Amino acid sequence: MSTDIVDEGLEAATKLYLLSIVLERLGDGVRKINTLEYDEWNSSFSKAKATIGPDREKLLDNLSDTIERELVLLGAVAIEDKLQDGVPGCMDKFAWAGVKIWLHTGDKKETAVNIGLSSNLLSHDMQVFHLSLSTDADTNNQLQAMHDDIFKQIQASYQLITDKSPKDGPFDLVIDGRALEIALTNEMKDYFLRLAVNCATVICCRVSPRQKALFPALYQQGQKNIFFGWKQIIGWMANGILTSLLIFILNVYMISPSAFRQGGEVVDIEHLGVVMYTAIVWTVNCQIALIITHFTRIQHIFIWGSISLWYIFLLSYGALSPRFSHREYKLLVEAVGPAPMYWIVILLVVVVSLLPHFIYMVIRMTFYPTDDQVIQQMMYVRKAVVERDGSTETE
């Protein structure tokens, strides 16, 4: 029996066996080439890896195909590729908590979707959007045609989301590497991000290591101390000093020279102290409310509860005997509370004190938004569109 017949029989048997098992399979082969042939191939392969654009993957595939020919089969290995215990349940809890999950994999789309189903990232009752180059656009290999093709798919998918109410969700997105590369171009990335943030799960398949490195940008804000660096600390200190000066100066100049009540009484240190501290309590809590992007019940309780507790303290302390409360006896009930000047000053001081920080926030979000702020704006726009469409249907 010749060696060729043995090799052919071994190869056929190996292929048949690999196809019969559900495992991650890898065949090992060898081929001898001379140095000149390898140097020529390696030079072309290095140039292809450095290529940027839609032709990159095709060039790499063609060059790999030229070198992976006439191999002598050495053997095969197979790995049982399955999820760790507890992964589906963990992903399911993330989904119930409203956490949006992105899956990046180098596997083909069918495999990626199966992974999503087995890990509970996807379910059969979800509406899934598939973004990939159409056959015509891929065949013509024209960059503008590819851009137009992906842009139309993104717009059509987003329109479906806006046309439906949140009760029709959740929505999921599956996109391959070539479509992702086009979707992340400067002229299209905002539209792609608007679609992606409105999906519960985004699965990116056939992605390269370079593409996988694009998405941790949001998490790098924390890793690079963008929100907790010295620049931010000094900025908040400066804001605190400016706000303190505004509260002090405005209170002193607004209520000291004039009569505080109808009888012509002017304020003393107790009146001024209560008015000033009330303005501080309101300003601090309102400034906290300005920087919060998503309110929870706990935050409402602490912010507005802090303001309420200040008035409760004034009432309680002022109700004590003058032996304990001294000159603050019934200060809120009989002195500052009935005076319209007290409430007018509080309103004006709080508004003016918050104005510098509010202007800074508007300028920052309009001209220099961070990645998370862009996503928040897109989500608010999506929510407004849904609510508007829902009210229109109701009418």
Residue 294 has pLDDT above 90, yes or no: no
Which region among 199-208, 313-322, 323-332, 357-366 has the lowest average model confidence (pLDDT)?
A: 323-332
Residues contacting residue 72 through CB under 8 Å, at least 6 positions apart:
7, 29, 30, 31
- Token pair of 143, please? 């960059």
Instruction: Kindly state the average pLDDT of the residues 293-311.
Output: 88
Comparing C-alpha atoms, which of 335, 331, 337 is closest to residue 318? 331
Evaluate whether 170 touches 126 at the Cβ level (below 8 Å): yes
Residue 83 DSSP code: P
CB 272 within 8 A of CB 251: yes
DSSP string of 220-267? HHHHTTTTTSHHHHHHHHHHHHHHHHHHHHHHHHHHSSS-SSTT-PPP
Kindly state the average pLDDT of the residues 7-25. 66
Q: Is the pLDDT of residue 307 over 70?
A: yes
pLDDT for position 328: 73
For the residues 209-236, what does the mean pLDDT come to?
A: 68
What integer is the mean pLDDT of 227-239?
83
Could you tell me what percentage of the chain is helix, strand and coil, using 3-state DSSP and rounding each to the nearest 5? 65, 10, 25
Query: CA–CA distance from 125 to each of 46, 102, 131 (Å)?
Result: 45, 19, 19
Among residues 236, 207, 314, 319, the alpha carbon closest in space to that of 271 is found at 314
| Structural domains in the chain plus CATH codes | 3-79 (no CATH), 87-223 (3.40.50), 230-369 (no CATH)
* Pairing between β-strand 24-30 and β-strand 127-131 as defined by DSSP bridges: unpaired
The residue-averaged pLDDT of 219-234 equals: 70
* Least confident interval from 60-69, 143-152, 217-226, 353-362: 217-226
DSSP 8-state assignment for residue 203: E
In this model, does residue 162 exceed pLDDT 70? yes
pLDDT for 165 beyond 50: yes
Give the per-residue pLDDT at 86.
85
Please, are residues 250 and 348 in contact by the beta-carbon 8 Å criterion? yes
Residue 295's pLDDT band (cuts 50, 70, 90): confident
Report, as an integer, the average pLDDT of 254-264.
63
- pLDDT surpassing 90 at residue 283: yes
- Separation between Cα atoms, residue 183 and residue 129, nearest integer Å: 14
Reply yes or no on whether the pLDDT at 5 is more than 60.
no
Encode pLDDT of 48-76 as tens digits. Answer: 877 765 577 778 888 888 888 888 888 87
- The tokens for 270 are 């107790």
Distance CA 123, CA 232 (A): 43
- Report which of residues 201 and 78 the model is more confident about: 201
Q: Which residue has the tokens 């992105």?
A: 102
Q: Which two tokens stand for residue 69?
A: 């020919």
Distance CA 150, CA 3 (A): 52
Mean pLDDT of the chain: 78
> Between residues 354 and 27, which one has the greater pLDDT?
354
Is the Cα torsion angle 297, 298, 299, 303 positive or negative in sign?
Answer: positive
Of 7 and 176, the structure prediction assigns the larger pLDDT to: 176
Which residue shows structure tokens 């539209």?
191
Average the pLDDT over 242-269 and give the result: 75
CA dist 126 and 112 (Å) reads 16
Calculate mean pLDDT across residues 289-318: 87
Of 112-121, 164-173, 206-215, 295-304, give the lowest mean pLDDT range: 206-215
Residue 175 has pLDDT above 80, yes or no: yes
Decide: residue 32, CB within 10 A, 0-12 exposed, 13-18 middle, 19+ buried: exposed
pTM > 0.85: no
Q: What is the pLDDT at residue 391?
A: 45
Token couple for 100: 């949006």
Percent of the chain with pLDDT over 70: 75
Least confident piece of the model among 103-107, 136-140, 319-323: 136-140
